């Protein structure tokens, strides 16, 4: 089985959002922004998820972007300039136990601002799933 990518995560969130038909309600940029906020929340709740991103003084939480302007030339070394961004088509770089909670984070965050189709009960359920899965691992 091929490794999951950040784009796969966004795609699975789109399925939950029922946003797979063109034109999509949520742009890739919006969903990537939700994912990046989810990564920040994951770092707050579980800094150990980013141990390989520890810079000595802080934890570098990578930002997922469509195109990485400065790709990583040495994956064994943390370089803030190269590692602060990762391309969305690259492999999911965290432990897979954080994959599904981040899918829930992206879909709940997107649904929260979706005035037309929002379901507050579903948003709360997905956000609670994110938190319970992250802190109980």
Structure confidence by residue, pLDDT tens digits, 92-121: 989 999 999 999 999 999 988 765 555 667
C-beta of residue 32 within 8 angstroms of C-beta of residue 24? no
pLDDT at 51: 85
C-beta of residue 100 within 8 angstroms of C-beta of residue 130? no
**DSSP letter assigned to residue 96:** G
Write 55-62 long-range contacts (CB < 8 A, 24+): 55/80, 60/84, 62/86, 62/93
Give the best-scoring range by mean pLDDT among 18-22, 65-69, 133-137: 18-22
Model confidence, pTM: 0.84
Mean pLDDT on 34-47? 95
pLDDT at 8: 97
Percentage above 70 pLDDT, the chain: 82
Nearest 10 degrees: CA dihedral of 65, 54, 46, 122? 0
Mean pLDDT on 34-43? 96
């Amino acid at each position: 089985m091929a490794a999951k990518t950040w784009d796969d995560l966004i795609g699975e969130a789109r399925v939950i959002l029922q946003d797979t038909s063109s034109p999509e309600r949520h742009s890739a940029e919006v969903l990537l922004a939700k994912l990046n906020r989810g990564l920040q929340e994951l770092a707050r709740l579980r800094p150990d998820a980013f141990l390989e991103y520890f810079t000595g003084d802080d934890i570098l939480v990578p930002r997922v972007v469509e195109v990485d302007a400065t790709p990583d030339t040495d994956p064994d070394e943390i370089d803030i300039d190269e590692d602060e961004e990762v391309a969305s088509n690259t492999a999911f770089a965290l432990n897979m136990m954080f994959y599904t909670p981040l899918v829930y984070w992206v879909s709940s965050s997107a649904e929260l601002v979706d005035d037309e189709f929002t379901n507050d009960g579903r948003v709360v359920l997905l956000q609670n799933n994110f938190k319970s899965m992250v802190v109980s691992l």
